[in-house]
Structure 1
Amino acid sequence: MTHASYYTALLLLLSSMHWLGSSLASNPLQLSATADEVPAIINSDPPITYLSQRPVLQPKESTPPEFLYTLKNPQGKVCVRASLGVEYVVRENNKNYYFNVNPSFTRVTGFCGGQKSVFSLEFDGGHLEFTFIKEGDLSYVSSVKGLLRPVPHCKNCQNKTYVGVVSNDKLFKAKNGLSFQCKSQTTLILASFLRVKLVPMQIQAFGLANGAFGKEVECWEDYNKRMIPIILGAVAAAVCLIAILTYVLVRERRNQGYEQL
């Protein structure tokens, strides 16, 4: 091989290596997951814009924001619908502390079944879970579980997790296809140190036609608030009527006593 041929071959080899290096640099090896491998959160309503911080307990009570939450089955149909505001009440050192659930940082999880459905409101630092049971033509909530893991309310306080449950009861009963509604405050005592207030509330887990609430079943608190003024008004009207009749009878009897024989 002549010197000219040797240098030409060497030049071609260097050019080929340079081209291969440039190609690899402009097209690096892809190791990221594909879109199908990224897990997705389903039945999330409303969508979470970003993760919130742990709950911060407040010394004063305020009205919790109301929101409409829905849980859908795999076919995309609404199987649980709940409109409510949620407030946690923590009892610590003979004092009450409060936390209102923010719908913007809350997602709905659970599952839908023919006889049983679980509906849970999940947020960073806690959750509230309802178990719905269908029994014959009646549906109700058999248990409510709550968990709250707040930021310590003082510098020297320890981290605590408050857990409680109400079970073995038939709460918020309604016939299938109807919704349970309570505009008055509903308080659930989950533990001696943990309570949950729901205000106002309308829930339904079975027989949702087109995903909408059925006819409302009124709670006793609302019924009493509505009926007591009516009953008191009726009693007051009856007392006034009796007083008027008594006055008329007494007057007529007195007039008859002065008649001449």
Structure 2
Amino acid sequence: MTRTCPFVVGIACFAILGCVTVVQSQVTLEVTEGNSTCIKAELSASFSITYDTANGTRTVMVPLPGAAVVGVASSCGGDGRSPWLVALFGDGHALGLSFSSNDTLYSVANLTLQYNLSDVATFPDANSTDVVTVETTSVGMVARVNTTYRCISASSVIVGGATVTFSNVTMEAYMTGDDLSPDESVCTADQSFTTAPPPPPSTTTAAPAPVPTPPGTPNQGSYSVSNSNGTVCLLARMALQLNISYFSASQNKTIQEVVNLLPNQTTSSGSCDPTSATLVLTQGSATNLSFLFTLNTTSNRYHLTGLSVVAAWSDMTAPFNTSNSSLDYLRGSLGRSYMCISEQTLAVDQTFSLNTFQLQVQPFGITRGQFTQADECQLDQDNMLIPIVVGAALAGLVLIVLIAYLIGRKKSHAGYQTI
């Protein structure tokens, strides 16, 4: 049913107890049904995985080896089942990609990573021998139907307490032939290195492009994530605004657009474990936003480590996706929520930032499904300090005027003699 053709393309640094050199491979994976190929992927991947040891936590970098093979769970789909590509590697590890499609686009709808902590060569000193499975629906690989998805640039996907980094990816699902389509859907990161073609010559004067209307302040939405036993493990109340730079098909240039996330059209999902929590917000089939929170078990402090977005808006020449897994925002204490009523801008990269309003989040230590006492952001504290300072200044001014008046009145009385 399947075959694999691994080959070596480079060298990477793989650290377990220091920095040692290992081979970074590109692997070709195919899922077939009969004599037809339905999924083909040529890619390199590595996995940054944090796990618990007796002395705290440790992070390892695990490459997808050239010896990876396609698992029997791989499928072309059909009868209500999604197409699946499952790559097996090492001692009980697996990477799974499932696909979905509409009339115009197909995408990686779900990424699943399975890693076996009993593999002592990969996870030395792990205090567990469990097989851990994490997954996310915020992947960012979107292409037009009957085209090959291509992304040479490195891109990261946050999944539970791990980060999957892809590079040199050419991939197609729902294939109509036995080889990748020559027509390509190029990822946003690769487009930044190319120049858009000039517009065709015209004998008429083009109408000026409409100026986008500012969307105004977004509405606040309430979102939650529950663990496998139904207990709420992450809470969020926030109003969100996406600020994205992309190449506009109608204007034939890069534009910056600010779009509000609509709570009544947005669903939430995600996952939690002791040291990480993921919240995924999905608005229809066009926008997917993912948050990763990480807990430092030494300081008992958490923060927003990662943000990723996937957008497939009608005016985009290609689906937009970007992510950053080395952020340091929304810092709070274990057992307390984080609150910031003021507007904040969370910069992800040069093409994407997220504006937040009326925000309160708690990714760890939730009690009875409710927010606990909040750590307030510095912006709110500064905003409270300003009226206090102004009030104190006004009170001081009034006091000075009153004292001056009393002194003046006393002097005026002293100028008269009693008869």
CA deviation after TM superposition for structure 1 residue 32, in Å: 6.3
CA deviation after TM superposition for structure 1 residue 145, in Å: 2.4
2:237 paired residue among 83, 88, 94:
83
Q: Find the aligned partners of 1:33 and 1:232 in 2 and give their Cα distance.
A: 65
Tell me which residue corresponds to 1:173.
Answer: 331
Tell me which residue corresponds to 2:291.
Answer: 130
Matched, 1:152 2:306: no
**What is the SS of the residue equivalent to 1:211?**
coil
Q: Find the aligned partners of 1:213 and 1:101 in 2 and give their Cα distance.
A: 22
CA deviation after TM superposition for structure 1 residue 232, in Å: 0.6
> Which has the higher relative contact order, 1 or 2, with Cα contacts under 8 A spaced 6 or more apart?
1
CA deviation after TM superposition for structure 1 residue 160, in Å: 4.8
Give the counterpart letter for 2:312 in structure 1.
Answer: R
CA deviation after TM superposition for structure 1 residue 206, in Å: 0.8
Tell me which residue corresponds to 2:360.
Answer: 202
Q: 1:70 to 1:58 in 2, by over 3 A?
A: farther
Tell me which residue corresponds to 1:232.
Answer: 390
Tell me which residue corresponds to 1:50.
Answer: none
CA deviation after TM superposition for structure 1 residue 204, in Å: 0.2
CA deviation after TM superposition for structure 1 residue 220, in Å: 2.2
1:109 paired residue among 251, 259, 269:
269
Q: 1:232 to 1:207 in 2, by over 3 A?
A: same
Q: 1:33 to 1:163 in 2, by over 3 A?
A: closer
CA deviation after TM superposition for structure 1 residue 94, in Å: 7.7
Give the counterpart letter for 1:167 in structure 2.
Answer: S
How many residue pairs get matched? 205
**What is the SS of the residue equivalent to 1:210?**
coil
Moved more, 176-185 or 116-125: 116-125
CA deviation after TM superposition for structure 1 residue 238, in Å: 0.7
Deviation beyond 4 Å, 4+ runs, structure 1: 31-34, 92-95, 253-260
**What is the SS of the residue equivalent to 2:365?**
coil
2:224·2:269 contact (CA, 8 Å) conserved in 1? Answer: no
**What is the SS of the residue equivalent to 1:209?**
coil
**What is the SS of the residue equivalent to 1:189?**
strand
Structure showing greater radius of gyration is 1
Per-residue CA shift, 1:64-84, capped at 9, x if unaligned? 232211111111111111111
Moved more, 211-220 or 69-78: 211-220
Per-residue CA shift, 1:105-156, capped at 9, x if unaligned? 4332332111111222134233222211222332222222233232216xxx
Q: Find the aligned partners of 1:253 and 1:166 in 2 and give their Cα distance.
A: 72
Tell me which residue corresponds to 2:16.
Answer: none
Give the counterpart letter for 2:301 in structure 1.
Answer: L
2:306·2:323 contact (CA, 8 Å) conserved in 1? Answer: no
TM-score, normalisation: structure 1: 0.67
**What is the SS of the residue equivalent to 2:379?**
helix
TM-score, normalisation: structure 2: 0.43
**What is the SS of the residue equivalent to 2:358?**
strand
CA deviation after TM superposition for structure 1 residue 59, in Å: 3.7
The structure where helix makes up a greater share of residues is 1
CA deviation after TM superposition for structure 1 residue 104, in Å: 4.1
Give the counterpart letter for 1:74 in structure 2.
Answer: S
Q: Find the aligned partners of 2:254 and 2:271 in 1 and give their Cα distance.
A: 38
Q: Find the aligned partners of 1:191 and 1:82 in 2 and give their Cα distance.
A: 23
Give the counterpart letter for 1:186 in structure 2.
Answer: Q
Tell me which residue corresponds to 1:222.
Answer: 380
Tell me which residue corresponds to 2:228.
Answer: 74
Q: 1:165 to 1:149 in 2, by over 3 A?
A: farther
Q: Find the aligned partners of 1:238 and 1:202 in 2 and give their Cα distance.
A: 36
Structure 1 unaligned residues grouped into runs of 5+: 1-30, 35-40, 42-56
